[in-house]
Chains A and B, each alone.
Chain A
Amino acid sequence: MTTKKEIAISIENLHKTFRLPHEQHSGLKQMVIGALRRNRKKGYELHHVLKGLDFEIEAGDFFGIVGRNGSGKSTLLKTLAGIYSPDKGAVQVNGTLVPFIELGVGFNPELTGRENVFLNGALLGFSRDEMSAMYEDIVKFAELAKFMDQKLKNYSSGMQVRLAFSIAIRANADILLLDEVLAVGDESFQRKCFQYFAELKKNNKTVILVTHDMDAVQRFCDKAIMIEKGKIVASGRSSEVAQKYRELFAADSNIPQSTTKKQNRDGTIETDFIQAKINLRKTSEKLTFDITVRQKKPLKEDSIVALGLIRDTGEQVFRWASDEKTKDVLSFDPAHITLELQNIFPEGTYDILFVVKSRDRSEDYGTFTDILQFEIESRTDHPWDTYWKPQERFTIEPSKVGGR
């Protein structure tokens, strides 16, 4: 690519320091005492959160910011949003920016859903008339038609975030800031969000995602940076940064982690823990995945196996994971899983996401993308709709290949 892209956000030598008061500082007493004391001890401590960040985000990027708790990523996000002002350095934003930092900014629990829509809309710069015009769409997208005249305090957190998200996406901003919003909402809503993200990508909008979820970073982001103790410690392609993040965690907490990773484009993968082979049989009616998993070391009892289909738009159109009913999926060694899906997927090039981890997610036995690519041709018999879930059928048995 030789065309130079526009810069959406550029950060130069960004510093941010907070004053942390020692005790209750926000009082005149403190000020008077401070003034009376000869050796005026400062009533606060300086906390240097961002220590000189430099990076650029190009327009149209899906940009991930990752880092541990307390690493400074939320401070960075708030500085990008103009909520905090930098002590030193410069933040330059080209275009309109909408932050989506927490569930429903300005939502008031004592107001009804409807009233909150208008209030929240005003914060995004929409007049009453404009909001009235969009109101039906918002409610439909949030799937909350029945609840709009109830007070917000009676909403579940999932409902609140759905409403908030449905309004936020109307903002039609050039740059969208998202902080851990993927964590809430059920699967069907998440899928809608992902579809929306894919649309944003297509329209050359810039999205900045702050998250702990490395799967999400790999799935959506093109590029990412990792922040540790207020500095950028890794930047580049999202998969590389995600890998570094996992290593950082592994190094710190002795969590068993797959360190050596081997993978082939033909669906053969290997880590310290497992060896697996994925085969795909494809017809215009069905997609059949044959998965064989061998354990090189004993895995935790109730480990899960998950498989996702990722379209070239970045959208995850389908995800299967072994659930409660199938939690003994890895009690066989080797285990053979057959997953049969009704082929209703839209045309495009697909990639597979394959994950084996312990149910509590403390141990990652292997997370893979780019292992098996396949095409789905254009078709007219099944127009794609995100509400659809393909019929699925799966069987688990000791592998026929060299079974015991």
Chain B
Amino acid sequence: MKLSNILSRQNRILLRELVITDFKLRYQGSVLGYIWSLLKPLMLFAIMFVVFVHFMRFGAGIPHFAISLLLGLVLWTFFNESTNQGMQAIVNRGDLIRKINFPKYIIVISGTISALINLGLNLLVVFVFMMFDGVQIGWSFLLFPVTLVIIYAFSLGLAFFLAAAYVKYRDISHLWEVFLQGLFYATPIIYPLQMVIDKGGDFAAQILMLSPIAVLFQQARADVLGHEYMITASQLSDNIFYLAFPYVVVASVIVLAIFYFKKNQKYFAERV
């Protein structure tokens, strides 16, 4: 996995074809086709909005909470999809791996790329809603792509680890499903972080914000909506180690996952 090889011409060609195939197959036989990748998060948003914003009044008094909820859901959908598709990638393409030798990481990347395409489409919808909601886009928006890149890199790292582990231990998919369910509620997506501070104090919020996903999601929303509306980790503590911790986790996950994947990939063909 030399860096120069990762995006060699052959690999780009293969990646492209795999992504196209994935996309074609996913919605084959459904009438609305690709539109489903837009409709699904929107419908999920509609449900969450009615339940948590309308009835339970989670974001009462917080400006642009609906947008914050929508963006959170869109990002979560991406994280969920990319890690799950990445995890299944090697096993699902077992027939290919058993018959031809090619860089295995291409399949994992292709699994995450179709999630990335969905994210792009969904973000367009988010921006349309933002215009209706009268969100002012400030300078902090320039940081948004950077935050997205970090989220993608983290998802891809996890996908590499999960994909390699899933070849060996098929239990991983069930474990990951449960883990994701837990993480969903442990991340301020459907509820604002302010609510945690109000009910459990700063300490509870500080604990929550140890999770890289919570930090990155808050950061992404702050980039889009403006830092005055969103509580980021830096408002909870100014301890440099505390602030660096989630990013250290992200970096270590990526490095360890690539190492683990590289070590195991030569056995994929016989174990898958």
Q: Output the least CB separation between B104 and chain A (Å).
A: 11
The answer, yes or no, to whether B98 is at the interface (CB within 8 Å) is yes
Q: Are A102 and B99 in contact (CB under 8 A)?
A: yes
Q: Mark A94-136, 1 if CB is under 8 A from B, else 0.
A: 0000010110011010110001001101110111100000000
Interface residues on chain A, size class: 20 to 34
Stretch at the interface among B8-16, B76-84, B139-147: B8-16
Contact flag A123-B14 (CB < 8 Å), given A28-B169, A78-B269, A84-B269: yes
Chain B residues near A126 (CB-CB < 8 A): 13
Which of B16, B17, B96 interacts with A105 by CB under 8 Å?
B96
* Chain B residues near A84 (CB-CB < 8 A): 269-270
Chain B residues within 8 Å of A81, by CB: 100-101
Q: Mark B83-97, 1 if CB is under 8 A from A, else 0.
A: 000000000000111
Residues of chain B at the chain A interface (Cβ within 8 Å):
9-10, 13-14, 16-18, 21, 24-25, 28, 95-102, 168-171, 175, 266-267, 269-271
Tell whether, in the assembled complex, residue A26 and residue B168 are in contact, meaning their CB atoms are under 8 Å apart.
yes
B14 to A, closest residue via Cβ? A122
What CA separation (Å) do A127 and B20 show in the bound complex?
Answer: 13
Chain A residues with CB under 8 A of B171: 27-29
Residue A82 lies at the interface, judged by CB distance under 8 Å to chain B: yes
Closest A residue to B12 by CB, please name it. A127
The residue that A123 contacts in the complex, of B100, B169, B170, B175, with Cβ under 8 A, is B100
Contacts of A172 in B (CB 8 A): none
A26-B170, A28-B169 are known contacts. Are A122 and B16 too (CB-CB below 8 A)?
yes
Residues of A close to B168: CB separation below 8 A: 26
B21 touches A115 (CB 8 A): yes
What residues make up the interface of A, taking CB atoms closer than 8 Å to B? Answer: 18, 26-29, 31, 78, 81-85, 99, 101-102, 105-106, 108, 110-111, 115, 118-119, 121-123, 125-128
Give 4 nearest A-B pairs by CB, closest first.
Answer: A82-B101, A122-B17, A85-B266, A28-B171
Known: A31-B169, A127-B9, A128-B16. 18 other contacts (CB 8 A): A18-B270, A28-B169, A28-B175, A81-B100, A82-B101, A83-B97, A83-B98, A99-B100, A99-B101, A108-B25, A115-B21, A115-B24, A122-B13, A122-B17, A123-B102, A125-B14, A126-B13, A128-B13
Contacts of A26 in B (CB 8 A): 168-170, 271
Please name all residues of chain B whose beta carbon is closer than 8 Å to the beta carbon of A122 when the two chains form the complex.
13-14, 16-18
Are A110 and B100 in contact, CB atoms less than 8 angstroms apart?
A: no
